[in-house]
Amino acid sequence: MWERVLVAALAAFIVFKVTLITYRRRKYPEPHEDWANVNLDDLHFPEGFHWGTATAAHQVEGHQANNWTVHEAAKGLEASGAACDHWNRWKDDFQLLSDLGMTSYRFSIEWSRLEPTEGAWDEAALAVYAEMVDDLVGRGIRPVVTLHHFTHPDWWEAKGGFADRANIPAFAAYCERVVDTLADRVKTWVTVNEPTVFSTMGYTLGMFPPGRRSIPTTLRVMRNLLFAHGTVYKALKPKHPELQFGVAKNVTLFDPKNRWSPIDWPLARLMEWFWNGAWRSGMQNGRMFFKDIPEAKGTLDFVGLNYYTHVLVGPASVSLLKMKFPKRRQEVATEFGYPMYAEGLRRAIEFLAPLNVPIEITENGVADAEDTLRTEHLRRHLWVLSNAVKDGHDVRSYHHWSLMDNFEWAEGYSMRFGLHRVDFESQERTLRPSGEVYKAIVGRR
Ligand code: FCB
């Protein structure tokens, strides 16, 4: 008797699940454009829309000493070394921005340069960043400054970094020092870059420092990043009400590999919630992974969107751990492995829209050493973005990743994301054909 009830209940549950999944499938479609028939020249951007490129300190400056250089050595990864020697060549690099016609530039400040040992501040290094900012402003380029882009001093890492909430005051003190110094010239601040990537790569997959593999720690770091942002916001916003503070969120979309599969759909939804939804609800409600973080609630003046791709998930998704990405038949695989899916940029914007703050595209780009894909990639994404803006989404800027080839974290120098090709022997920069295309598009506006 009970067995029958159990079987019936199970059957009912399965039917219910499948119905729900089918319903959601209709509710969350995965659009694909017929690109051959799209007029990619049909672009409309409002006056004052910001055109930019993005970089991060560790990836371009060269000669760092931080948590990442320690990780590179410990894991036998390619060393970041001199990178683009940008610390010495930034003036020339800013000329490249002017030559491209950029009106905005996103870059990051390296905490380990400013506070190489705990409590010892290097005023000269801070003065260099101030000089950079002055130079950009003088060129009519808006500086967008990231305070934490994956790197920090190793002494702070040794104390547990973002895994320990007791460390957040030191991070906030660093932010306060920088913001107080530059507040008169820098109005747009990104506190933290890609919190989900930072936590997952560093604490679940172990590919980023500190190279750990622990899901509970990953969740703790995610919450602490939210807490850190909220703490910085609450300390600095009252002091500088005219400044805009935000987070650069990597919105990777998760879609079911097999659209008919009752396993792939819930799996995709689960990943989507873990990667995107939990963060958004943390910002909206001050609650993440079943714990309260009231400090974070309502602390975004804008949201930065880093958009690259969608990931197709199914039971075989363990292959993702080896960074093997499946793609749809009609999609092109990029050099990083993941597919080019420009349609997803619209979905990522729609995902962030309920936060009710302006959106800045803080990153979008493609690894493409031979520059065979970048032009198409750029044009498709700008077309999608243009439609989103036309339809009323409040997107204020587009920053292409990246101004030039640079140190691509665990991938070293193998992945080339630059509008400029960099010869790392001679440090020569050469504008790629796709860079010419971007320049022409921006120039027309
Ligand atoms: C993003 C990072 C950025 C760069 C691009 C390719 O996840 O924020 O530093 O490496 O990917």
Ligand 1 pocket check for 231: Cβ under 6 Å: no
- Topology, domain 50-444: TIM Barrel (3.20.20)
Nearest atom in ligand 1 to 409's CA? 10
Ligand 1 pocket check for 208: Cβ under 6 Å: no
In this structure, are residues 68 and 78 in contact, taking their beta carbons and an 8 Å threshold? Answer: no
Report how far ligand 1's centroid is from the alpha carbon of 149 (Å): 9
Using CA positions, which residue lies closest to atom 5 of ligand 1?
401
How much is the pLDDT for 406?
A: 99
| Residues 6 or more apart in contact with residue 251 via CB below 8 angstroms | 276, 305, 306, 307, 348, 351, 352
In this structure, are residues 355 and 298 in contact, taking their beta carbons and an 8 Å threshold? Answer: no
DSSP for residue 315: G
How much is the pLDDT for 137?
A: 98
Report how far ligand 1's centroid is from the alpha carbon of 146 (Å): 13
Distance of CA 116 to the CA centre of its chain: 26
Tokens of 70: 């320690």
What are phi and psi for residue 243, nearest 5 degrees?
-85, 155
- State the helix-helix crossing angle for 433-443 and 86-100, rounded to 10 degrees: 50
Ligand 1 pocket check for 250: Cβ under 6 Å: yes
Report how far ligand 1's centroid is from the alpha carbon of 25 (Å): 30
How much is the pLDDT for 445?
A: 81
Considering Cα of 18, then 19, then 24, then 30, what sign does the dihedral take? positive
CA distance 17 to 66: 48
Report how far ligand 1's centroid is from the alpha carbon of 153 (Å): 19
How much is the pLDDT for 203?
A: 98
pTM: 0.94
Q: What angle do CA 214, 218, 219 make, to 5 degrees?
A: 125
Using CA positions, which residue lies closest to atom 9 of ligand 1?
56
| Residues 6 or more apart in contact with residue 169 via CB below 8 angstroms | 231
278-311 tens-digit pLDDT: 999 999 999 999 999 999 999 999 999 999 999 9
User: Which of the listed residues 64, 368, 409 should we mutate to test ligand 1's pocket, taking the one with most ligand atoms within 8 A of CB?
Assistant: 409
Ligand 1 pocket check for 306: Cβ under 6 Å: yes
Report how far ligand 1's centroid is from the alpha carbon of 233 (Å): 23
104-108 and 142-148 as β-strands: parallel, antiparallel, unpaired? parallel
Quick one: 356 exposed, middle or buried, by C-beta within 10 A (0-12, 13-18, 19+)?
A: exposed
How much is the pLDDT for 262?
A: 84
How much is the pLDDT for 28?
A: 60
Nearest atom in ligand 1 to 250's CA? 7
142-148 and 420-423 as β-strands: parallel, antiparallel, unpaired? unpaired
How much is the pLDDT for 15?
A: 63
359-363 and 302-306 as β-strands: parallel, antiparallel, unpaired? parallel
In this structure, are residues 219 and 289 in contact, taking their beta carbons and an 8 Å threshold? Answer: yes
- State the helix-helix crossing angle for 264-272 and 2-27, rounded to 10 degrees: 60
CA atoms within 13 A on the CB side of 317: 17
User: Which of the listed residues 53, 78, 408, 413 should we mutate to test ligand 1's pocket, taking the one with most ligand atoms within 8 A of CB?
Assistant: 408
| The dihedral formed by the CA atoms of 236, 94, 55 and 370, expressed in degrees to the nearest 10 | 170
- In which element (H, E) is residue 361 found? strand 359-363
CA distance 423 to 427: 5
Domain extents in the chain: 50-444
Q: What string of pLDDT tens digits covers the 445 residues of the chain?
A: 777 877 777 777 766 766 666 555 555 689 999 999 999 999 999 999 999 999 999 999 999 999 999 999 999 999 999 999 999 999 999 999 999 999 999 999 999 999 999 999 999 999 999 999 999 999 999 999 999 999 999 999 999 999 999 999 999 999 999 999 999 999 999 999 999 999 999 999 999 999 999 999 999 999 999 999 999 999 999 999 999 999 999 999 999 998 888 889 889 999 999 999 999 999 999 999 999 999 999 999 999 999 999 999 988 776 666 767 999 999 999 999 999 999 999 999 999 999 999 999 999 999 999 999 999 999 999 999 999 999 999 999 999 999 999 999 999 999 999 999 999 999 999 999 999 999 999 998 8
How much is the pLDDT for 318?
A: 65
Helices (H), 311-373: 343-352
169-209 tens-digit pLDDT: 999 999 999 999 999 999 999 999 999 999 999 999 999 99
Quick one: 427 exposed, middle or buried, by C-beta within 10 A (0-12, 13-18, 19+)?
A: middle
Please list, residue by residue across 249-267, b when 16 or more beta carbons sit within 10 angstroms of its beta carbon and e when fewer do.
bbbbbbbbbeeeeeebbbb
